[in-house]
Amino acid sequence: MNLRRRLGRLAAALAVVTLVALVPVPAQAAESYVPISGSGSTWSQNALDQWRKNVAENYGMTVNYSGNGSSAGRTDFINQSVDFAVSEIPFQGQPEDGSPPEKPTTGYSYMPIVAGGTSLMYNLKIGGKRVTNLRLSGEVIAKIFAGQIAKWNDPAIQADNPALAMPDVSITPVYRSDGSGTSAQFTAWMKAQFPSIWTFGMRSQFPQVTPAFKGQSGSLGVAGYVSQNYGEGAITYVEYSYAMKSGFPVVKVLNNAGYFVEPTFQSVAVALMSAKINQDLTQNLDGVYNSGDPRAYPMSSYSYMIVPTETNKVFTVEKGRTLSQFASYMLCEGQQKASALGYSPLPMNLVQAGSDVLQRIPGTVGPIDFARCNNPTFKPGDSPSNNQLALTAPAPPDCDKAGATQCVDPTGGAQEQTPVTGSGGESGGGNNAAAGAAATSSDPAAAGAAPAAAGGTAAEPVYDANGNLVSAAAAGGSAAAVSAPFSLAENGWGTPQYIMLAAGLLVVAAILIPPVVGRRSRGNRRA
């Protein structure tokens, strides 16, 4: 065999071997899984849908899910028509509609799966320009959804928004018409914080308080109504992920430290550091509602996957093995996707609790290996009280502090806007009204303030090494403490990219080398 043929075959063989090596082989390719199904929360559905897609592509795992609302999911679980359910609240011993108590007949446990903020998505314009920097106190929010404030130019709303000339437009509160954990979370917050205003109690079934209220089914339903042209003047409560996907703004809510804050993944992470976890892993959010940290978003919470701890007529040991593998992925690797989807990654203490639950599922793959968990809120060796997101969470800028100024952002940086003069209800609010309406939400990272540190000045909030607020009194100072927000590493050049480059070069070599060698061989023969 001549040299040309040898080199050509060698190059082609190397290219084939390299390309075969590059074909993605899932880490669990040798495993086989049985399909599992669940139903329930739409609050969590955007995260679940992403995770289901990931495990299907990477592990060949089929996880079916129907977002039919938390109440329906719990009912499906009781009826043993699904393998798992997802809900924002636990089973109800005394359902508000008078139906029988929710009591599963086989063992179960609550497993935390994703954290997030219940946001207030709205559609409002002033002078034909969309408002994106709306601020509301908790009292005003409760009055809107209790039917006590019906116009956007109500003096209480105008007082929260000194830079905007609020328009004389009717408010359309949009609520969940189906049984919803989101409704339960939202009404639980109003009941706890403003019981004299919200007198309906915690409700999975939100009441139509006045004829002006519009009911829609599911998170997509309420978000979809607000985002339409006919939704101008509307406001709804929905998980932040849905507002992000719709491209619509959310209200900055006044927290207990006196700052208006949006439900970013960092502000939710900070708020949940004040949550108490009950023995059954359900949540007590009183500390979250009243956190003294200026970075905290007060309507923060997490949702549960309800998993069987015994086999039943539909749930088998084989399904338990699949479910435990899916849950293990969600608690660790899956949390890397949370912030991009509008959620907040679970902290270590909740992942540890989830790992304990994993071990109770029939057929489980076992507890989580924390050294390989790859959850963005902690690193190997961190203590459970640590939270990497809280360490780097930005504090709000001065202009988001309650008072006579308001953040507006026409150019991309957090800036103060002076109060609008004249009647807030008149359309002729002048240039300030137009500027305020065109402003976008502030970017705290662009505010240019110094990072928070344990040795901060008296004018800055002071945090310890784990990101906990040390001095609430200092948080009331005039200077904002800002640090770079946590973000996942950008995709860059690593081993996979270099292998792909080598494969490409070998393919080129397989094409180019034989002709070159052939020409040289013919030249040598003529010589």
Is the per-residue pLDDT at 192 higher than 50? yes
What are the residue boundaries of the structural domains of the chain, listed by start? 109-400
Rg from Cα positions in the chain: 27
Nearest residue to 419 (alpha-carbon basis) of 407, 405, 429, 430: 405
Average pLDDT across the chain, whole number: 80
- Apex CA 387: angle with CA 295 and CA 412, to 5°? 40
Q: Bridge-partner residues for 471, per DSSP?
A: 462
Burial of residue 88 (CB within 10 Å: 0-12, 13-18, 19+) is buried
Residue 348 near residue 467 (C-beta atoms within 8 A) = no
Please, what's the b/e burial string for 361-398 (b: 16 or more CB within 10 A of its CB; e: otherwise)? bbbbbeebebeebebbbbeeebeeebbbbbbbbbbbbb
Quick one: residue 249, left, alpha or beta (phi over 0 = left, psi -120 to 50 = alpha)? beta
Instruction: State the angle between helix axes of 348-358 and 317-331 in degrees (0 to 180), rounded to the nearest 10.
Output: 170
What is the identity of the amino acid at 177?
A: S
216: tokens are 């829609």
pLDDT score at 482: 23
pLDDT digits (tens, 9 = 90+) for 297-313: 999 999 999 999 999 99
Nearest residue to 445 (alpha-carbon basis) of 262, 269, 289, 245: 262
Tell me the pairing of strands 63-66 and 36-40: parallel
Whole-prediction pTM: 0.74
Distance CA 115, CA 493 (A): 32
Sign of the C-alpha dihedral computed for residues 326, 331, 333 and 335 taken in this order: positive
Please, what's the b/e burial string for 399-418 (b: 16 or more CB within 10 A of its CB; e: otherwise)? bbbbeebbbbbeeeebbbbe
Burial of residue 519 (CB within 10 Å: 0-12, 13-18, 19+) is exposed
- Confidence category of residue 506, pLDDT binned at 50, 70, 90: low
Of 3.20.20.10, 3.40.30.10, 1.10.10.10, 3.40.190.10, the CATH number of 109-400 is 3.40.190.10
pLDDT score at 63: 98
Residue with tokens 């900070």: 270
pLDDT digits (tens, 9 = 90+) for 41-75: 999 999 999 999 999 999 999 999 999 999 999 99
Q: Which has the minimum average pLDDT: 158-172, 383-397, 432-446?
A: 432-446
User: Where do the H-state alpha helices sit in 130-180?
Assistant: 138-145, 155-160
pLDDT digits (tens, 9 = 90+) for 397-431: 999 999 999 998 553 344 555 555 443 333 333 33
Q: To the nearest whole percent, how much of the chain has pLDDT over 70?
A: 72
Sign of the C-alpha dihedral computed for residues 67, 72, 78 and 80 taken in this order: negative
